Amino acid sequence: MAEGEVSVLVGGKAGEGISSAGQIIAHLLGQLGYRIHMYFDYPSLIKGGHNFAIIRGARGKIGSVRSRVDLILALDQETLRVHEGRLNDHGVVVYNADTARYPPGIGIAIKSILAAEEAPPVMGNSAILGAFVKAAGIEWAFAEGVLTKSFRKGTGQNLRVARRAYEASEERLRIPATGMTGLPGFTGNEAMGIGLVEAGLGVYLSYPMSPTSNLLHFLAGYSDEVRIRVIQPESEIAVILAALGCAYAGTRAAVGTSGGGFSLMVEALGLAGMAELPVVIVVGQRAGPSTGLATYTAQADLEFAIHAGHGEFPRLVIAPGDAEESRTWIRAAMDLAWKYQIPALFLPDRIICEGMYSLDPSVTMKSRADPVMAGPDIHPYLRYAPTDSGISPLRFPPVKGEVIRVNSHAHDTDGITTEDPGITRTMAEKRQKKMLGLAAEIEGMHPVNIAGDTDATTGVLCWGSNKGICAELGETLSLRVIQPVALWPFPEKSFAEAMDGVERFFGVETNETGQLVRLVRQFGYRADGMVLKYDGRPFMLEDLEQELRRVMA
């Protein structure tokens, strides 16, 4: 094992609980004090195909996995065929002896264990977990506590299966506790759900579409506990229109989708812009165009998010870099959407949505101000009343004696349709004032992160899930890592400060054209090279290090 860290790969077929097994391993490592990251790889199949998860634990904060691993847990022979070459020297293989063969490893007769406990086949992942615990030198009493909290149903039976496999396994290495306080592990989808609830979410609407489907499932599972409504309408168009209806009525709403679903929402995005209705739209990025690679990752929707919709109207675009930023910045996005009465687009890529990270609950962002509300003495109420900031005070129906109008047409201050050129120009300028205020407020929210060697004159520009891997390599290669979180309105002042002293920089992106590199070029920054990956898979630590050394040579 690399000093101070460990990597585990678990693989099998779809339907064998590979994601669940990976998450439980992540929780085990997290409780041992490691900071964790999990990458889950799966085809767009309900059953069959090859699924695998790589879980990496380290003493320092991480956001990437290595291509080489210390343990392979194989529920079938395909896992060994595909991944045997990843095994480090002195690495350990634990395998299902009924479906795979690897004599140097630890074979577990899972079928007989399941039969002895009259357990269903899906509990084979509990058996492989129990065998892993013993192989990794983890005490059963410690593991039992984590497993008990992790099994959502059939806890007793799962524990008995895991214990039988533990007894049948053998210790081959030891994963020591770090002595640090354990942190909980959350996927980005779960962290976003927490942030939305903290931001006062009232209604969440979504038509299931990877990689945000699990955000829908997560919020639905806790909807009664946190007193929100979770609704699955019949289409993405119905989703966004219902959310705008909620905003008109004064309820904070958010929606989740991916590129194809967001394409269907674009007309309603313009409605939100013209009618000045706040909404948070989570656009989980996956590989396109069209259906593309439905269960794999990309960072190819940045330009789409910034420019979607005809005409001109203010919007906010945020791209988190890990689970902590998913939680804090989606909360900020909701507050800013309501303060400025605009749509806010939240752009996690699939690695963030479905990957797992250590999340420090103490990391928070100061809550923004509440929206400006119209006092009861204002009569008549003008929905689009002019102000110095461009932000009109809000009031929600029903209000006795008032009509609260919103309008997709060009309109006057009362929301009445108009084609008058003077009024049209005045209202357009009113909306633009909000964008200016939003840009100034964003600058005060630490919208650009700097990591790695902060004094280096060579920089790496990245965004989204590449934050973690670039931060690690920034320390290894003495590079200044610049990661904008707020991407529109672009934080020019903060970005200039982050780039101060950088003599040359290189872009790292998971797309074909370097969309962030093209964006910063508009503000006078020209990259000296790029490392791009667009096969649906994330960068692995060793591979990106090699590529960065090549382009910088």
Fold match, 5-168 / 185-444: no
State if pTM tops 0.75: yes
| Contact between residue 12 and residue 79 where contact means Cβ atoms under 8 Å apart | yes
Answer for the pair 35, 62: CB distance below 8 angstroms, yes or no: yes
CATH of domain 5-168: 3.40.920.10
CA–CA separation, 142 vs 153, rounded Å?
A: 20
For residue 6, name the pLDDT band (cuts at 50, 70, 90).
very high
For the chain, what is the largest distance between any 2 Cα atoms, rounded to a whole number of angstroms?
83
- pLDDT at position 48: 78
Question: Distance of CA 392 to CAs 236, 386, 402, 405, 411, Å?
Answer: 29, 6, 16, 13, 14
- Domain regions of the chain by residue span: 5-168, 185-444, 448-552
pLDDT digits (tens, 9 = 90+) for 288-297: 999 999 999 9
Q: How confident is the model at residue 470 (pLDDT cuts 50, 70, 90)?
A: very high
- Name the phi and psi angles at 425, rounded to 5: -65, -45
**What number does CATH give the domain 448-552?**
3.40.50.920
What is the length of the chain? 553
Average pLDDT, the chain: 96
Task: At 192, list the tokens.
Answer: 């976003």
Query: What average pLDDT does range 234-251 have in this prediction?
Result: 98
* Residue 60: count of CB within 10 angstroms of its CB: 11
Whole-number pLDDT of residue 378: 86
The CA–CA distances, whole Å, from 383 to 277, 397, 422 equal 11, 11, 18
Report pLDDT for 152: 80
β-pairing, 356-358 with 343-346?
A: unpaired
Question: What is the tens place of the pLDDT at every residue in 76-131?
Answer: 999 999 999 999 999 999 999 999 999 999 999 999 999 999 999 999 999 999 99
At 439-459, the pLDDT tens digits run 999 999 999 999 999 999 999
Give residue 123's identity as a one-letter amino acid code. M
Q: What is the predicted pLDDT for the residue at 251?
A: 97
CATH number given to 185-444: 3.40.50.970
For residues 319-330, average pLDDT: 97
